[in-house]
């Protein structure tokens, strides 16, 4: 006979912690959602930490393109995220913006934070770089996360098709070589040219056409 007590629901207010990864191209609202989730959890009395790396502002904060912002902890490569959680009396959740730029070891630490410390982790970031190659940290999040969610805010290529990929533009041209992480509108290319990024559909990311009247 089945032991029905083993099938009874968990006590109210208890559940397993989760690791969720929200991804999408530029301009799809990742940082905006990160800030909104932090606000919503805080309103319910939960205590959390907001983390980021290489924010577009150049400082230790999460900023969105619609003007929202919040101070955050900068995730240096040497930062141990398990030790960060242990250093606080109580942490219910982590908001991890720009998680694609974390180290793979730090993604493993996020899984440890969830499994061993019962802390919810909400990670946000790009899936692939300017070459359409997946970031190592993003790949590990795809492999480890309990839930992977593509953000549904529509981002368009200049031609009107869905924007799926981020192109790196240097000197007015799409480039396919260089360091994997270069912050647009902040860093310079090797030849000192300004760097910017543009969301493109697959067709125009592959062809390199940037919208000068040719589709």
Interacting residues of 112 by C-beta distance below 8 A, sequence separation 6+ = 82
Catalytic residue among 71, 98, 154, 212: 98
Lookup: tokens for 154: 């529509």
Gap between the Cα atoms of 77 and 162, Å rounded: 34
Residues in contact with 115: Cβ distance below 8 Å, sequence separation at least 6, in sequence order: 17
Q: Is 105 marked active-site?
A: no
Task: Give the span between the Cα atoms of 161 and 154, in whole angstroms.
Answer: 10
Q: What is the DSSP string of 22-77?
A: EE-STTSSHHHHHHHHHHHHHHTT--EEEEESS-TTSSSEEE-TTS-EEE-EE--T
**In angstroms, how far is the first alpha carbon of the chain from the final one?**
67
Residues identified as active-site: 98
């Amino acid at each position: 006979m089945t032991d029905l007590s083993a099938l009874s629901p968990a006590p109210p207010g208890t559940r397993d912690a989760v690791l969720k990864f929200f991804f999408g191209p530029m301009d799809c609202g990742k940082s905006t959602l990160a800030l909104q989730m932090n606000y919503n959890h805080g309103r319910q009395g939960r205590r959390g930490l907001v983390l980021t790396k290489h924010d577009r502002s150049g400082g230790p904060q999460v900023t969105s393109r619609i003007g929202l912002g919040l101070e955050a902890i900068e995730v240096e490569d040497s930062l141990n995220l398990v030790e960060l959680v242990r250093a606080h009396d109580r942490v219910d959740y982590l908001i991890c913006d720009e998680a694609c730029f974390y180290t793979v070891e730090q993604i493993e630490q996020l899984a440890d934070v969830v499994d061993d410390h019962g802390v919810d982790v909400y990670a946000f970031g790009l899936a692939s770089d300017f070459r359409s190659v997946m970031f190592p940290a993003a790949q590990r999040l795809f492999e480890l996360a309990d839930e992977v969610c593509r953000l549904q805010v529509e981002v368009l290529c200049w031609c009107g098709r869905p924007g799926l990929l981020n192109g790196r533009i240097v000197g007015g041209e799409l480039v396919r070589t260089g360091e994997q992480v270069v912050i647009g509108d902040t860093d310079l290319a090797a030849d000192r040219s300004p760097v910017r990024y543009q969301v493109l559909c697959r067709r125009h990311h592959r062809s390199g056409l940037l919208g000068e009247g040719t589709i």
